[in-house]
Chains A and B, each alone.
Chain A
């Protein structure tokens, strides 16, 4: 149980284009989803917290107009990187938590999406 999927697993795009990444909880309803970015050999950096049906809460320093997050249902959240630039190249990981899983102190991670912007 507690499986989270992400799509695509990797994407290469040209500078200036937009990229959408999907995060789905497959066997549970996720009340909260999180989006992280991770650079090589570094820790996970939380970008935003997403709750179904409400606006995402962004961490300090994260541009909400550049990283658009939509949490349309209890099983799907999307992150759109708008007007991507090479410095946006990174590993983007989503995670989900739910009180139904016993505790919201544990997050279940998707497999990640590696974005390369040329």
Chain B
């Protein structure tokens, strides 16, 4: 089986940097994805790490450490529009195209 753990809520200040962590337990692991979901909207894909290291895409970066079964999403120069839920996710070890989602981290941004 596979499970992903992430904090339920994180609060940060506009303009600051915030890191959302995700730890996973799995019988097989192929990579870690991050999705953003605004209230009332659908998830949108942010990033996918198949290899260890940091992937940077604009203000967002994602990191993976396979040896530590750990990854994080880093958001810099926070803007109010970044207030959303963020889900880490991983392909199902059975390779049946399913994705297993964490329970999501709700990011609150204070002005």
Chain A interface main SS type: loop
**How many cross-chain pairs have Cβ atoms below 8 Å apart between A and B?**
50
Which size class do B's interface residues fall under? 20 to 34
A111 beta carbon closer than 8 Å to chain B:
yes
Please choose the segment from B10-18, B64-72, B74-82, B96-104 that sits at the chain A interface, where 4 or more of its residues have CB less than 8 A away.
B96-104
Q: Is the CB of B91 within 8 A of A111?
A: no
| Interface residue stretch chosen among A12-20, A42-50, A74-82 | A42-50
Contact B48 A41 (CB under 8 A): no
Tell me, yes or no, whether A83 is within 8 Å of chain B by CB.
no
CB distance from B107 to the nearest CB of A (A): 13
Q: Quick check: B96 and A44 within 8 Å, CB to CB?
A: no
Docked-complex contact A44 and B45, CB < 8 angstroms: no
Identify which of A32, A41, A107 gathers the most chain B CB atoms within 10 Å of its CB. Answer: A107
Task: Give the residues from 97 to 118 in chain A that come closer than 8 angstroms, CB to CB, to chain B.
Answer: 97, 103-112, 114
Query: Can you report 17 residue pairs joining A to B where beta carbons are below 8 Å apart?
Result: A32-B97, A34-B98, A43-B102, A44-B43, A44-B101, A46-B98, A49-B98, A93-B42, A93-B43, A95-B43, A105-B91, A106-B33, A107-B99, A108-B45, A109-B35, A111-B42, A114-B40
| Interface magnitude class on chain A | 20 to 34
Contact B98 A43 (CB under 8 A): no
The B interface is mostly helix, strand or loop, or mixed, namely loop
**Given A43-B103, A97-B97, also A109-B48 (CB < 8 A):** no
Q: B25 in the interface, Cβ–Cβ < 8 Å?
A: no
Bound-complex Cα distance A114 to B40 (A): 9
Contact check: which of A103, A105, A112 meets B42 at CB < 8 Å?
A112
CB of A109 within 8 A of CB of B99, answer: no
| Interchain residue pairs A-B with the least CB separation, the first 8 | A109-B42, A112-B42, A43-B103, A105-B91, A104-B97, A32-B97, A109-B43, A111-B42
Q: Is the CB of A106 within 8 A of B43?
A: no
With known contacts A43-B87, A43-B103, A106–B45 Cβ distance under 8 A = yes
| Chain A residues within an 8 Å CB radius of B98 | 34, 46, 49
Complex Cα–Cα for A97 and B63 (A)? 23
